[in-house]
Structure 1
Amino acid sequence: MGSIEELRFNWEIYGSFGGRKAIYRNFIDRRLKSLKPSWKHVIPFRSGNASGIASMALDPVEHRFLLCGSYRGNISVVDLENFSQAHPGQPVSHKFIPASNSSNHDFLITTCQWYSKDSSVFVTSSMDQTVKIWDANMMCHVEKFTFENPVDQIHWSVAKSKFPLIAVAQSTSNIQLIDPRGGHALQHLRWKSENVVSVQWSLVNENLLFTGGSHGNISLWDVRSGKSELKTFRNPHKRRSAVMAIRFSPSGNFMVTHDRSRVFDVWDANSLKHKWAVQLEDRRSVHSTMKHLQFELCHDGTRLLAIAPADTEVALLELDSGKPRPALHLLHGHYQGVTSCVYRTTYNQVISSSSDRLVLVWSPEMDEKKPETEEIKENELHQDAWSDEDR
């Protein structure tokens, strides 16, 4: 089995559905453990994003368009399926689509997100105190919302809803809600006891919003009632560390939160009961210039994995084992702090950005085999051509 396409084509020969599923998941495990920097896919840089990428997002429909927001506020899209190749065995040149200069933000991009149902629309937030909704076909913004404070994080609801809202966190007690239909923002919720640094909508209920606070608390809100939060809860260890990110597992069974103390807390998504905590090694730290951490969850294999920045490395950390220090696989390739990670499920690829101004594509080793002619050339370069008489 040399590639994911071959396995998908042939896996029906392996007996029952449960057996096929187990074989498939184990195969994905092997692919994820063999990730290495791709020689085929090199994400191009232009003058607009040469300062480095602070935030990324992969479109949820085709897993094809990589949205990039730079430290300077520039927005660009890389088409991972549209590329040219000068010679076999050489890296491909991906199509790079920059935004119009008049539409770009003024400062660092804190969040990028595609609209969950349409790859022609996306939203961005910035430290320039604005949130913008974009037309991806024209690469210009169509709506702009200005706030009194820098925007730390946003999340556009992905639940089934005719009118999904955008939640905005600004390290204040106010939680802004944007209604794209009316083109206006509503100051709808207020967390009196804490400042909000992270937001995440429920996967299944468009009215339920989770927020992470600056003192380690997590609150659940029903946006139909703006009086107060439905419930506030925190980890059993009572860490007073800002909750920088909240994510739900693809299955919807787990909620995972991450705070500045480098701890991932795993919760039961239905009962909202804390299950266990997983900590990165003490020497791993969050990139100091970022107020939030962009990590993703992967459950394609047998384990639930967090794919997250870990100082200059990318960490693949098991979360569902219940062990405080479970299996950890590190990807080495960046030279400075990693800022964001995305996972491309169709190819089991990880894409990471860093303040070293590199965007790396990590592919399974079996997908990175070079053409036979190129391998022969490389082997010839490394052969010992000296004879005993020459020596």
Structure 2
Amino acid sequence: MLRFVTAREIGSILPSYLVKVETTRRIFSVELSTHFDVQKIHDAAINSLDIDLVEDRYLLSGAGNGTIVIHDLHNITGLPHCTYPEVCHVGRGNRNRHKYSVETVQWYPLDTGMFVSSGMDKLLKVWDTNTMRTADEFEFSAGIYTHHMSSTATQHCLVAVATGSSKVKLLDLKSGSATHTLRGHRQTVFSAMWSTRDEFILATGSRDSKVMLWDVRCAKGAMMVLDQHNGDTSAGSNSVNTAHSGHVNGVCFTPDGLHVVTFGTDHTLRIWSTATGQNTMVNFGRVTNESKRSVKMTISGGSKPQLVFVPSVSDILIYDLVSGTKVSTLRGHYNQVNCCTFHRAYHDLYSCGNDRNILIWKPLLDTTLAYDEFLHNGSKSKEDRTNSFVRRIGTADSWSSDED
């Protein structure tokens, strides 16, 4: 690492390259943190997590009993250990809460004063964070598996809603009405996500094994219907194209928006070009997927190569998006993992599952190693700590001046 710092100082590499190198090192070294935790509030399976994009500070979580909790991820102590406190929550006593499972929660991308939740009570709720009351709510004909708001949109304020029906609804938060209905899927839509590159492009995955790319400005239907065999992806081939041989319950765009990653119950992970709709044929091997709900993957930003974090049963699998190589397996949950989300500022990973836990996975840093050594020495006697200190001092230069 010092070599790159020196190279940056003399101008042989750009500062951005140093950032990319350090980001890559951190992401590749993530492991379960033993010094950081969140205050335990949930007493049911946790289905969804989201970190706000404004301050990168507040963690939003939704659970199977209808509760929603906000944690503050800012370590005000400055110490290398912390339990992130709960700021506020929507508990069982709140009359505005969801009656059944909360499947998805998401911050409003431009302001932490509002967030949106949806669940199996067929309701999508818009919340005022300051009062923890609903500002608006929308009812659908079936349970909601997921919803998504675009983080890049400047010309619209649409929420894509994937429900138990075959239709995808688009809600306009400005007008408070359903403006579009996307028809094309034949069965339950499990996942929906807006492109990170083009605010009008939407990807959806369904029980009918199809993945569709939509341009919401076009009224003719899907822009592309992805085909795992790289056949014709035009909307006219809708009846025969399938992206997977099972249900598609995971869709995620890369940070640059040039590719979309899909996950199916045929235990395969696929990556597609958003420009051509072609399957890149990257072989990730068997990736177990037994989930009956939307699987919320995440992709690292700023690293090279980019890594995708995939919840698989009780583990989180990390894959290289370019080669398909499995980089690591994160183990810590005792039951099905439902969601993982990446903290873009600290390069931490947060995950949740049916074991009611929110786990924090942090990169290996010098401060962590120093604190571990401090705790280890703290368990020794004073004499042992002194001897350990003497041994460390013995590695220093032992020269003397001529005047001695």
TM category (shorter chain) comes to 0.7 to 0.9
Does the alignment pair 1:327 with 2:322? Answer: no
SS at structure 2 position matched to 1:334: coil
Instruction: Select the residue among 281, 284, 289 that pairs with 1:285.
Output: 289
Preserved CA contact (<8 Å) 1:83 1:92: no
Paired residue for 2:310? 308
SS in structure 1 of the partner of residue 95 of structure 2: helix
Match of 2:153 among 148, 153, 160: 160
Q: Which residue of 1 aligns with 2:377?
A: 376
| Residue from 85, 92, 106 that aligns with 1:94 | 85
Give the match for residue 64 of structure 1: 57
| 1:113-156 Cα shifts (integer Å, max 9, x gaps) | 11222222211110110101111222222111111100011111
The SS at the match of 1:215 is coil
Equivalenced residues, count = 366
Q: CA RMSD in A?
A: 2.7
**Structure 2: how far apart are the matches of 1:349 and 1:11?**
27
Q: Could you report, residue by residue, the CA deviation over 1:332-368 in whole angstroms, capped at 9, with x for unpaired residues? A: 2111121110111211111111211211111112242
Alignment CA distance shift 1:91-1:160 (3 Å):
closer
**Maintained 8 Å contact 2:340/2:352:** yes
Counterpart amino acid of residue 285 in structure 1: N
Give identity over the alignment, percent.
25
Residue identity opposite 1:355 in structure 2:
N
User: When you count strand as a share of all residues, which structure comes out higher?
Assistant: 1
Shift of 1:17: 4.1
Residue 15 in 1 paired to residue 46 in 2?
no
Q: Which runs of 5+ in 2 are unaligned?
A: 231-241, 385-404
Q: 1:76 corresponds to which residue?
A: 69
Instruction: Decide whether the 8 Å contact of 1:83 with 1:95 is kept in 2.
Output: no
Residue in 2 aligned with 1:298? 300
Aligned equivalent of 1:353: 352
Residue of 99, 102, 107 corresponding to 1:109? 102
C-alpha offsets along residues 275-310 of structure 1, whole Å, 9 cap, x if unaligned? 12443546x334x3x411011011322111111212
What secondary structure is seen at the aligned counterpart in 2 of 1:32?
helix
2 CA distance for matches of 1:379 and 1:285?
A: 46
Establish whether residue 45 from structure 1 lines up as the match of residue 44 from structure 2.
no
Q: Deviations over 1:211-259 (max 9, x none)?
A: 2222222222232343422332222285332221222111222221111
**Cα distance change of structure 1 residues 192 and 305 upon mapping to structure 2, 3 Å threshold:** closer
Using a 3 Å threshold, how does the CA distance of structure 1 residues 185 and 55 change in structure 2: closer, same or farther?
A: same
- The residue type equivalent to 1:33 in the other structure is F
In 2: Cα distance, 1:332 partner to 1:137 partner: 36
1: distance between equivalents of 2:99 and 2:218?
35
1:12: how far off?
A: 3.5
- Matched letter for residue 35 of structure 2: K
User: Partners of 2:206 and 2:95 in 1: how far apart?
Assistant: 34
Stretch deviating more after TM superposition (132-141 or 372-381): 372-381
1:121 match:
114
